[in-house]
């Protein structure tokens, strides 16, 4: 029997942070060496960082990546290590993995299937490597093979699937198995999305079973470049079983897992597979032979039995809060900010943002310890000697309640109670005098008094806008990051005041719909994330109906009266935007899903959505960056593009009115109906 150890690393990298990225790489190599690993897989594009965007098209980036590779290669004595980097060959850029064997660069394997959907734009920068092609590239003074290669390292045959390769129907593992590959390395940059970890696990486990190989999957970790969050979750699998799996959402910069591979057992599994058809040409141009002597290890008892495994999966609520917490932590330190400011209205959205910051502190301190947590962030100097997460939160988070004449005691009490409950600094500002000055000034130049009956939207918006300068000033004074509190449901229909409640440098919940956010807040009130617990003070927020509180209180303004029921709004948005259905198709689908709603009201709401969606693309273009959490994101820069100016679905809405009229109910009103824009 032959046993050897392999390792997978999770790295929290930053685009073009050459020294920081190299430091993490070297640390991972040393951690793997301490585990007696012969083979280490590092994540995709780990040298440059995955999110370099158009900087990939700069020759200096590719040149510097090669320089860093040569530096890092010197740390790989007695090991086989894969590095990820962009590689320029024949005036073409490839997303490549480099296999370094005992300090020597031996081969480059380029990605065959580029990620070009959703938030990924790899085809903009890279080209796919053609199947079965071998070439040569000069690195330093050495000519190195490049292509669709199998590398023999002391009798262990190694092949690659680079991230998206494993998700393709014609995944490279099919060909690699015919060449007798023992070990497939998958360096990945697989961003977090709800439920995605289980899909990854199936790809890895089924890959080992179907192809008769062992598999090492490594992934990036953290908020690398601003929007995408990487959850780690590396895996080592063999013979249809997970041998080791990494934790997810770690606040550490480097995590390494290792496991022992039974080489003979995996080979015999393949020999017993009647469907296996080997490539018998031992002199194939795609095979690269290297001089390497693996460290064969003595198996331990646990290596000889079928191990158990854990996926590290969480409830959606737990996934959400942990992804957001890690995203906020990295955004804080990589933007060199010294804390957060939230305009806390007493409603659901701003309370969610404040609680996410508080949970970031709780989870970070729980994993790293208070001292290490403080060392990692710019404001760490203010946190020396503090151990209580609530005290630490008080130094990192300022919550500001800004009252106008239309604010209620209910929201003021809710805001104050939540802020005190999570330990945040809480301040109140009376902005009513500012509102009155603006209204009086505009009334004077218009030569009339502004009234709610004639000037509703203008009077609402000015209240939201006068709240912006104060919180911006506080953020500037403290070197803090102002969080915008708008959610995805509001973004879809433009239910937000530009330069008002949309102000901020980061919009952490802009990818989350309001209906889910309200459910999550109830979970946070009663349960909360593991290791942190609930925030019972949220009961004062959860007991309210969401309201902007921009009209006089006697009008009883609520968000759902202004728009429609949030569950319906979110269902329409998914059908119309995610699934690209027409207004008539959306209407018919909503009839099935919401049978208790009157047809005329349902038709009105569907039309309202399409009109507001088309009219408010300009707002979505101006939103602060948001975190990507699922395939329903509306961010026009990374996911959902739509013209700022369009026909507004005019023809399609005529068809909708005809269809609603055909139901026997009242037809909708004319084309300008409900063209509401804040």
Distance in angstroms (rounded) separating the CA atoms of residues 665 and 662? 7
Q: Domains in the chain, ordered, with CATH?
A: 3-303 (3.60.110.10), 316-563 (3.40.50.620), 564-678 (1.10.10)
Across-strand partners of 150? Answer: 287
Residues 6+ apart with CB under 8 A from 570: 489, 513, 514, 515, 516
Residues 252-304: tens digit of each pLDDT:
999 999 999 999 999 988 888 767 777 777 668 899 999 999 999 988 766 65
Distance in angstroms (rounded) separating the CA atoms of residues 13 and 152? 30
| Residue 404 three-state SS | coil
pLDDT of residue 145: 97
Residues 497-523: tens digit of each pLDDT:
999 989 999 999 999 999 999 999 999
Residues 555-593: tens digit of each pLDDT:
888 888 889 999 999 999 999 999 999 999 999 999 999
Find how far residue 207's CA is from the centre of its chain. Answer: 25
Q: The whole model's pTM is what?
A: 0.94
Residues 6+ apart with CB under 8 A from 480: 337, 338, 339, 340, 341, 398, 474
pLDDT of residue 107: 98
Q: Could you give the angle at which helices 348-368 and 316-334 cross, rounded to 10 degrees?
A: 80
pLDDT of residue 301: 66
Neighbours of 105 (CB within 10 A): 20
Residue 128 has pLDDT above 80, yes or no: yes
DSSP for 13-65, please give it.
--TT-HHHHHHHHHHHHHHHHHTT-SEEEPPTTTTT-TT-GGGGG-HHHHHHH
Distance in angstroms (rounded) separating the CA atoms of residues 217 and 285? 26
Residue 311 has pLDDT above 50, yes or no: no
Q: How confident is the model at residue 667 (pLDDT cuts 50, 70, 90)?
A: very low
pLDDT of residue 309: 40
Across-strand partners of 228? Answer: 628
Lowest mean per-residue pLDDT among 58-67, 106-115, 497-506, 656-665: 656-665
Q: What share of the chain in percent tops pLDDT 90?
A: 86
Read off the DSSP letter of residue 1.
-
Note whether 340 and 478 are within 8 A (CB): no
Q: How confident is the model at residue 335 (pLDDT cuts 50, 70, 90)?
A: very high
pLDDT of residue 276: 77
647-664 average pLDDT score? 90
Instruction: Say which residue, 678 or 370, is predicted with more confidence.
Output: 370
């Amino acid at each position: 029997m032959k046993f050897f150890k392999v390792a997978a690393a999770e790295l929290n990298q930053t685009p073009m942070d050459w020294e920081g990225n190299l430091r993490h790489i070297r640390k991972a190599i040393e951690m793997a060496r301490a585990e007696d690993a012969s083979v280490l897989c590092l994540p995709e594009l780990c040298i440059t960082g995955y999110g370099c965007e158009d900087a990939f098209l700069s020759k200096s980036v590719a040149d510097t990546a090669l320089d860093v590779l040569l530096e890092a290669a010197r740390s790989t004595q007695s090991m086989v290590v894969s590095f990820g980097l962009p590689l320029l060959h024949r005036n073409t850029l490839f997303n490549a993995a480099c296999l370094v064997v005992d300090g020597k660069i031996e081969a480059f394997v380029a990605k065959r299937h580029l990620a070009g959907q959703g938030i990924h734009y790899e085809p903009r920068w890279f080209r796919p490597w053609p199947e079965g092609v071998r070439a040569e590239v000069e690195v330093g003074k050495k000519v190195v093979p490049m292509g669709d290669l199998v590398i023999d390292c002391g009798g262990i045959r190694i092949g690659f699937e680079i991230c998206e390769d494993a998700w393709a129907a014609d995944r490279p593992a099919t060909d690699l198995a015919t060449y007798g590959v023992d070990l497939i390395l998958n360096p990945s940059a697989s961003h977090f999305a709800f439920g995605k970890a289980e899909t990854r696990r199936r790809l890895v486990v089924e890959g080992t079973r179907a192809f008769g190989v062992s598999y090492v999957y490594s992934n990036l970790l953290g908020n690398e470049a601003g929007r995408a969050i990487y959850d780690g979750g590396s895996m080592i699998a063999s013979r249809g079983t997970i041998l080791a799996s990494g934790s997810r959402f770690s606040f550490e910069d480097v995590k390494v897992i290792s496991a022992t591979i039974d080489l003979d057992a995996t080979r015999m599994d393949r020999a017993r597979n009647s469907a296996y058809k080997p490539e018998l040409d031992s002199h194939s141009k795609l095979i690269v032979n290297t001089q390497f002597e693996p460290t064969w290890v003595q198996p331990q008892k646990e290596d000889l039995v079928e191990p158990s495994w854990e996926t590290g999966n969480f409830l959606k609520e737990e996934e959400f809060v942990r992804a957001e917490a890690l995203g906020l932590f990295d955004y804080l330190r990589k933007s060199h900010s010294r804390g957060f400011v939230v305009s806390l209205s007493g409603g659901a959205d701003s309370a969610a943002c404040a609680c996410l910051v508080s949970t970031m502190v709780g989870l970070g301190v729980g994993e790293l310890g208070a001292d290490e947590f403080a060392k990692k962030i710019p404001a760490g100097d203010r946190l020396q000697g503090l151990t209580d997460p609530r005290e630490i939160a008080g130094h990192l988070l300022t919550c500001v309640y800004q009252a106008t004449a239309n604010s209620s005691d209910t929201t003021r009490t809710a805001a104050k109670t939540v802020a005190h409950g999570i330990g945040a600094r809480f301040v109140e500002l009376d902005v009513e005098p500012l509102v009155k000055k603006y209204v009086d000034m505009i009334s004077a130049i218009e030569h009339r008094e502004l009234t709610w009956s004639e000037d509703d939207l203008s009077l609402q918006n000015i209240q939201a806008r006068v709240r912006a300068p104060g919180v911006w000033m506080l953020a500037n004074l403290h070197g803090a990051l102002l969080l915008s509190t708008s959610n995805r449901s509001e973004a879809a229909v433009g239910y937000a005041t530009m330069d008002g409640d949309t102000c901020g440098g980061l919009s952490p919940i802009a990818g989350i719909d309001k209906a889910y956010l309200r459910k999550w807040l109830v979970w946070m009130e009663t349960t909360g994330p593991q290791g942190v617990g609930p925030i019972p003070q949220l009961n004062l927020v959860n007991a309210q109906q969401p309201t902007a509180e921009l009209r006089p209180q006697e009008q009883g303004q609520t968000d759902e009266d202004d728009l429609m029921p949030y569950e319906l709004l979110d269902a329409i948005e998914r059908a119309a935007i995610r699934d690209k259905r027409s207004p008539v198709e959306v209407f018919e689908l909503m009839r099935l899903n919401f049978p208790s709603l009157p047809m005329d009201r349902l038709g009105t709401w569907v039309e309202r959505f399409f009109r507001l969606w088309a009219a408010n693309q300009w707002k979505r273009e101006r939103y602060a960056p948001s975190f990507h959490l699922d395939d329903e994101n509306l961010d026009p820069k990374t996911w959902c593009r739509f013209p700022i100016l369009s026909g507004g679905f005019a023809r399609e809405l005529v068809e909708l009115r005809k269809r609603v009229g055909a139901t026997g109910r009242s037809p909708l009103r004319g084309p300008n109906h409900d063209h509401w824009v804040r």
